[in-house]
Amino acid sequence: MSGAGSSVRRPVAAARSRGNASGSGPEPDARRAAAAAAGAAAARRRGRGDHGPLRLMEVSPRSLLLLGISSASLLLAVAFVAYTGVWRGRADGEAETPLRRVVRSVTPLDAPRMMDLPQFQGDHKESLYWGTYRPNVYLGIRARTPLSLIAGLMWIGAKNGQYFLRHVCQDSDELNKYGWTDHNGRDYGRQVLVDHGFLLTTSFLKEKGDGSGYGGDWAVRLDAKNEGSSLSEDQESTTHMFFYIADEAGNSITMGSHVPSSRGHVLLASGSHEEIGDWEVYLRSEDNLEIHKAGFKSVSMHNLSELVQQALATNAMQSGNLNLPDMAEDSSNIIVSQVSMKRSAKVDIVFLSGAASENPMIAERINRLTGPVLSTRLESKQKDFEKRYDQIFNVNNKINPKDLSVGVAALSNLLGGIGYFYGQSRIALPKGFTQKNGDKYIPYWPAALYTAVPSRSFFPRGFLWDEGFHQLVVWRWDVHISMDIIGHWLDLINADGWIPREQILGAEALSKVPEEFVLQHPSNGNPPTLFLALRDLASGIHANQFSDLESEKISTFLKRAYVRLNSWFQWFNSTQTGKSEGTFYWHGRDNMTTRELNPKTLTSGLDDYPRASHPNDEERHVDLRCWMLLATNCMCSIAEFLKTDSSLEKDYYKMSNQLSDFGLLNKMHLDDKTGAYFDYGNHTEKVRLRWFEVRDNDVMRRELLRETLQPPQLQLVPHVGYVSLFPFMMGAIPPESWVLEKQLDLISNNSILWTDYGLRSLSRASSIYMKRNTEHDPPYWRGAIWINMNYMILSGLNHYANEDGPYKDRAKELYDELRSNLIRNIVKNYHETGFFWENYDQKNKGKGKGARSFTGWTSLVVLIMGESYPTLHR
């Protein structure tokens, strides 16, 4: 995951340029709750304040006419610019061109919205209304609406004799394991969490039954068991969990009773919401529970942990008990219910929409979602899920049976990590411009995003180039969910055809990212990987892969998407082009840096992968050229089944043929000696990082700076790695070509890319292999094994293993061995650690490293097991 416009983040052992979710370490949302008998409050750190709405003011019609602006969305953007006085520091006469550019960057594309399609309304929309759409917390439920009711779980964990409040997913909690073992993306999920001696299984079930309001009802089962810890015998026998429900719109919530009713259930909270009517939350358990509550009024939902911590600490100091105070603030819109138990308990919590306590059907609806009936329904859902998994991915005869559960977990974690976000991206102003209040950004329009996320702890938000890989898995499982997700992303395209690569929407998402990493830069791109999934959908229609109903909806979807995809493509084709026709390079590299060994190319997604040492506009990047080939082929494929024959489609066919020209590709990028494809640019190998004595305000300090020992010159950049194999991944090499043999040599050479755990990202022979890029940036894409690129290389091997040619058998042999190595290593790490990892260590026996609990594109192991690969060729 990677990108442009934000600084590189360094999670634990590795960096990822996704914006720094943790800064120098994971953000400690869950600090110590309260020391028990002593009543000492734990140390805590306040989260950032809520980000209020942006005000707009009227602008004179004359001013707007002078700018030649007519669309309503453009009017709002200009109004904001005028109101905030964005042009501080520049003469008035210089502002018009930057103003127009800035306004366009925050103006939606003038095209029909994807999410307005009828197929995303009605039953489809309601069926996905509720879900586990808050992936950043261990268990979080919300609706797909901007101001939702949200629900979630906290608990007090113990480590080294101390209490800690668990809520937000973070590695500093040091949970032994957490993740979904089952999740169908719609109405069922099962998750296992192990927090030292505390074992917790959470199950989620949703239904639309008689009497339900919009979106239906849902239930959560908490199956908790305390197996002991380092605390005293008395302390370890009690477990404290906190279930909360909150209204983002600020509507007041009524705290329920404390005593179980005669019907065997406890009303925890009730209220009313505009979209679902009256609602109620009940608790039911056969175990002996102690229940305490608290109510809070707050517009900020990202600091719920701190509200609970503070209430516990205050009450602990007053009473000596680690309980909530059984009090509520006036007009509380957050109700927290503390459930304390001895040793173990099974607790069912049910949310009823369209409910009122006097309704005679309430008891029946509760019974359907609690107790033995819930147990039976959860077992049935689990069996249905496993059966569907077997039918779709067909892995039973392709992998070791004991590895099957790992593939199921990978899919479940990907689907369980799908979230819903709403807010405004922050778009960087041109260099030298600032608002009167000092802000260096302008907000995007308010927008929703329904998306999978790479990692619930480190990257719990949407990333553009990751999402294309996610959707390769998701569309095979549920094509309707996949189109919904892709449609949300395409609706984020602006008037220029650009999509912000990292989506930090809403206060909860913003609370995880330091301010300096939030801004998105409208000149910087990201690999257009959504074309991977879109090409599959278009090809699937040609191959009669879908039912008639699915084909109809996919066709409708692609027909509307075509305008937006064309705009997106044209943005790349106009902003990321090189000096020569048919060449491309990732814009946005820093050509002034003195601190980087090799200036990063964050926009490429490959971050610190070595490119030309001295960036300039002479560069040619072979990976971007291949992404453009994929995009043109996809646009041609969509045009074929839409039966369009305009000049636009003819241009796509012409460009596809040009980018498919093998001779031209070789002329631009091939090194004849090695058979590797290289970037081209102003480059020298004679660079190094060296300590210099630097004077700063009469104080001498040491600084690690780059030293160039030999002037750069225009040449191929001689670093063998993933970039060298991009034409191979895309099937752009003829199966009879000698170049293919050379590519297979590179792949299979232990001294270059091959390991027993997967292919390295960079050759061991590279001068930058495993080199730090700065004093604080350890190597990232300079040797580690990344699953998304290994999957793409497997796809290439599978392609050539099925193409007639002299290297067919060798491609098949390498395919089988690489596939086996990848599956074995991912499975081994999962069984040993309980997690999927961001990347894997090529030097340390394939050990997982970087961000853990990283399902993201590591979930491609599901497709590797099932031998399912993208359609990359026209």
Please tell me the predicted confidence (pLDDT) of residue 48.
Answer: 32
Which of the following is catalytic: 182, 502, 838, 841?
838
133 within 8 A of 419, measured Cβ to Cβ = yes
Please tell me the predicted confidence (pLDDT) of residue 5.
Answer: 38
Told to judge if 838 belongs to the known catalytic residues of this protein, a careful annotator would answer: yes
User: For 304-332, what is the mean pLDDT?
Assistant: 93
Told to judge if 329 belongs to the known catalytic residues of this protein, a careful annotator would answer: no
Please tell me the predicted confidence (pLDDT) of residue 155.
Answer: 96
Please tell me the predicted confidence (pLDDT) of residue 682.
Answer: 98
Quick one: pLDDT band at residue 495, thresholds 50, 70, 90? very high
Tokens encoding 266: 């406890």
Quick one: pLDDT band at residue 10, thresholds 50, 70, 90? very low
Quick one: pLDDT band at residue 80, thresholds 50, 70, 90? low
> Residues 669-686, buried b or exposed e (16+ Cβ, 10 A)?
bbbeebbbbbbbbbbbbe
Quick one: pLDDT band at residue 258, thresholds 50, 70, 90? low
Please tell me the predicted confidence (pLDDT) of residue 433.
Answer: 87
118-177: per-residue pLDDT in tens?
999 999 999 999 999 999 999 999 999 999 999 999 999 877 778 899 999 999 999 999
Q: Which of 6-20, 237-251, 390-404 comes out lowest in average pLDDT?
A: 6-20
Please tell me the predicted confidence (pLDDT) of residue 71.
Answer: 46
Q: Within 13 A of 384's CA, how many CA atoms are on the CB side?
A: 12
Quick one: pLDDT band at residue 383, thresholds 50, 70, 90? very high
pTM (two decimals) = 0.90
Quick one: pLDDT band at residue 790, thresholds 50, 70, 90? very high
> Residues 476-487, buried b or exposed e (16+ Cβ, 10 A)?
bbbbbbbbbbbb
Which of the following is catalytic: 496, 607, 623, 679?
607
Q: Backbone dihedral region of 675: left (phi > 0), alpha (psi from -120 to 50 degrees) or beta? A: left
Q: Is the pLDDT of residue 508 over 90?
A: no
596 closest CA partner among 776, 366, 371: 776
Length of the chain: 874
- 14 by Cβ neighbours in 10 Å (0-12 / 13-18 / 19+) ranks as buried
Q: Write the DSSP assignment of 282-320 as a string of letters.
A: EEE-SS-EEEEEEEE--S-STTHHHHHHHHHHHHHHHHS
Please tell me the predicted confidence (pLDDT) of residue 230.
Answer: 47
Please tell me the predicted confidence (pLDDT) of residue 556.
Answer: 97
Tokens encoding 825: 């290593």
Q: Which of 228-242, 361-375, 528-542, 558-572 comes out lowest in average pLDDT?
A: 228-242
